[in-house]
Chains A and B, each alone.
Chain A
Amino acid sequence: MANKDMKVHPTPMLDELEKGPWPSFVTGLKRLRDADKRYSPVVNDLLGQLEHSYEEKLGFWKGGAISVLGYGAGVIPRFSEVPEEYPASSEFHTLRIIPPAGYHYNTEVLRKLCDVWEQYGSGLIAFHGQSGDIMFQGVDSENTQKAFDALNEMGFDMGGAGPDLRTSMNCVGHARCEMSCFDEIKVHRAVLNEYLDEMHRPALPYKFKFKFSGCPNDCVNAIHRADMAVIGTWRDDMKVDQAKVKEYVEELGRDYINEHVVGMCPSKSLKLNDKDELEVDNKSCVRCMHCLNVMTKALSPGDDKGVVILIGGKRTLKIGDLMGTVIKPFVKMETEEDIEAFVEFAGEVIDFFAENALEHERTGEMIDRIGLPAFLEGIGVEPDPNMVLHPRQVSYVRTDDFQDELEKARARKASKEAAE
């Protein structure tokens, strides 16, 4: 290859990161630099610029505008601010590519992804970005379209970026977890694939993220990080195998069970009785998952499964971190109709966000500004005490229709009961 005159940048600071037992990204980058491939000079200059950052304690990338044909988002453009010194990596864009739901791969597809990225990119891939995408890092402007076309031919599509619907994620759930209360992959794909247009052609006030966790352990951090968090749970009694409970008592001891299972139940719903049986007060249990996590063999979710939907989570920018809060305390998510109804609801929420949020305002900020009652009215959801920690504490509110609202709520309840 024609890389003979490549002058290797010294990287004394980065070299320090080759020491120590954890796998080193610097060693990996050097493998690419020393592979004598088309991209080797690119990675050499990338290492040079990174070393420069380590010395100056500053970043040297700026954004720009790069996209692929037909789509308005998904490429993260990166141009160097020091291109004279590091010309080969002066264009080092990222493609955000949507991974298979649940991050399942076989080696055949992984190898093909590697081949594409060796052909057009830098050979550097992140599995996965915090956004949930596969991050194909390091492609120049000219090869961006070609690389995308090759990935697109394989069946992969561009992820979200900017003010649009973002790439989502789901936990391993149904594929390998006994706690899972709904088919995360199916619901994830149903919603995202229905609203792909919102991802590929950014037209929202700001980003909108879904995340799907199969149970309240929330392995994909949905409550903190999703505008709409969909989290599995159940309504009926949890299942208890008392014979297995006894095995746990024998193995761990009564004291341990009392201190670490019964004593740590947040809703005081558990009791280990004199016969070493676990009694569960299912009416007061808040489905926190703790006892199921400790005694995986003895306890499991009930049969009447569904999801809780929480809306409004986001990170710091700009009013401070917000958690998602309960908007639907329980929705069934089993049949095709259940899933269709959810997809429709999700669409209504996105529409309301699109119409009512200010520019660069996330869903949670919008709800803070207009008030939860106005949001509920806007998306057609009835208030429910599960949405709050406690009722209002401040009297400053106009209540002239209080009695009318009570009447309406009573009428709704009556007609719902009549329908059942």
Chain B
Amino acid sequence: MSEAAVKPRMPEEHGVPDPFPWMHPIMKKNYGQWDHHYRPRPGVLCHVAKSGDKIYTVRAGTQRQMDVFTIRKLCDLADKYADGHVRFTTRSNIEFLLADEANVEPLIEELKEGGFPVGGTGNSVSMVSHTQGWLHCDIPGTDASGVVKSLMDLMYDEFVNEEMPNRVRITSSCCQINCGGQGDIAINVQYTKPPRINHDLVANVCERPAVVARCPVAAIRPALVNGKPSLEVDEKKCVCCGACYAPCPPMQINGKEETKIAIWVGGKHSNARSKPAFHKLVMAGLPNNPPRWPEAGEVVMKILRAYKENAKDWERIGEWIARIGWPRFFELIDVPFIKHHIDTWTYARLTHNHSTHIQY
């Protein structure tokens, strides 16, 4: 045997690749020297550098989980119109970088023909941030790709137009760990029942002290069940968060009917105007209903319509609600306010109204 075959290959620790060899030359040339930008039409940005150079960006939606044929098709378009340069946004939109304005319209035409929506810029609804779900995660309560696809079909017009008061950034998460992040609207899994424990497996699969430590409300205790070491859950304490399920799959938190969908509003990352904010609960107990999750979609569309009709330009959803007040918001979307809307977690008191500021 040759020496090379015997000696295993150790990795080159390249780390984060240098993007400059792949960056569009105009962006390289004007790196850090941009002056301003404008949006000629939805889905298109024009950035003007201090040197006077311009770069056009055409943004299109993708399915994120892409087959190589889709990627190559996008590459063909990039070669034809964008000097072979693209980038992706944090929300999995693809951006074609065009030196020549004359290429903008033909590229948009071809993207449309290829089934790629052009939009997601400015005051539009951009792509829903996307997690893994049934396609690939080991703990999911629902699918991610199917939920996102169903929602984007419903919100398609809001992606390709810029008709919202301000940008809308939607997130989804297929378990309560919430990889999807915070959003103007969030569509998240909400478990409703304490874990059912598969006692036969616990001893083999789980490190019991680690599972006990994982519970945020100290509801799990080590226990002997049928003479074997296992765990028990104080169901009065359990908040059905699913935190114990990841380190210990026998803590079955998911159920065909028990896993539900909840909808939250008013999260925001940007510091613009108001401070960054977490999203707040609006609706829970919606069925986890593949393949199209129509009940969740209906609530999302109701919130979007109310926001579109009532908010002022530049107000994000949370800022709009802060102005009109939660009572009016719940009226507008026709959802009664119930006890589960009132926070009970750490610092809950800070979320209660300690004033006589009330909007009548």
Which A residues fall within an 8 A CB radius of B?
A: 13-14, 16-17, 19-26, 28-29, 31-32, 35, 46, 50, 53-54, 56-63, 68-71, 76, 78, 92, 94, 98-111, 113-114, 117-118, 123-131, 137, 148-149, 152-153, 155-158, 168-169, 171-172, 174-178, 180, 183, 185, 188-189, 192-193, 196, 200, 216-225, 256, 259-260, 264-266, 286-290, 293-294, 296-297, 300, 315-321, 323, 359-360
Contact = CB atoms under 8 A, between A and B. Distances in A.
A16 B292 contact: yes
A46 to B, nearest CB: 8
The listed residue with most A CB atoms (<10 A of its CB), out of B94, B176, B313, is B313
A320 B345 contact: yes
Contacts of B152: 22
Contacts of A78: 136, 138
B86 A59 contact: no
Interface in B1-23: 8-23
25 contacts: A16-B292, A23-B117, A24-B149, A32-B69, A54-B134, A113-B71, A125-B65, A128-B88, A128-B90, A153-B12, A155-B17, A158-B11, A169-B90, A176-B55, A178-B37, A193-B16, A220-B90, A222-B269, A223-B269, A264-B315, A266-B274, A300-B35, A316-B177, A321-B178, A360-B213
Nearest to B134: A53
Contact of B276 (A157, A219, A259, A323): A323
B178 A59 contact: no
B279 to A, nearest CB: 9
Contact of A70 (B10, B84, B150, B269): B10
A176 B27 contact: yes
B145 interface: yes
Nearest to A222: B269
A180 B33 CA distance: 9
Contact of B134 (A50, A98, A265): A50
A61 B138 contact: yes
A54 B254 contact: no
Interface stretch (B72-80, B99-107, B332-340): B72-80
B19 A157 contact: no
A315 B64 contact: no
Contact of A23 (B61, B177, B272): B61
Interface string B171-195: 0000011111110000000000000
A290 B273 contact: yes
B8 A128 contact: no
A197 B145 CA distance: 33
Contacts of B38: 296-297
A255 B31 CA distance: 36
Interface in B300-340: 312-315
Given A110-B71, A317-B176, 10 more contacts: A23-B62, A104-B87, A107-B79, A110-B75, A152-B14, A183-B32, A217-B271, A266-B273, A315-B181, A321-B278
B256 A57 contact: yes
Contacts of A185: 19-20
B66 interface: yes
B224 interface: no
A153 to B, nearest CB: 8
The listed residue with most B CB atoms (<10 A of its CB), out of A156, A176, A188, A216, is A176
Contact of B66 (A46, A54, A125, A200): A125
B200 interface: no
Given A123-B68, A175-B27, A319-B216, A101 B84 contact: no
Contacts of A137: 65, 135-136
A32 B72 CA distance: 13
B351 to A, nearest CB: 12
A59 B138 contact: yes
What are the nearest 7 A-B pairs in CB distance?
A20-B153, A100-B19, A216-B271, A28-B67, A193-B15, A53-B134, A22-B152
Given A108-B84, A177-B34, A224-B182, A68 B68 contact: no
The listed residue with most A CB atoms (<10 A of its CB), out of B18, B62, B134, is B134
The listed residue with most A CB atoms (<10 A of its CB), out of B24, B31, B115, B130, is B31
Contacts of A225: 181
Nearest to B270: A217
Given A21-B117, A59-B254, A137-B136, A290 B272 contact: yes
A21 B153 contact: yes
B205 to A, nearest CB: 10
B19 A114 contact: no
Contact of B269 (A25, A54, A218, A319): A218
Contact of B313 (A61, A260, A287): A260
B154 to A, nearest CB: 8
B346 interface: yes
Contact of A24 (B47, B63, B134, B210): B63
A318 B214 contact: yes
A374 to B, nearest CB: 19
A188 B276 CA distance: 22
A126 B65 CA distance: 4
B151 to A, nearest CB: 9
A57 B288 contact: yes
A302 B338 CA distance: 48
Contacts of B61: 22-23
A61 to B, nearest CB: 5
A280 to B, nearest CB: 16
B117 to A, nearest CB: 7
A290 B275 CA distance: 11
Nearest to B21: A106
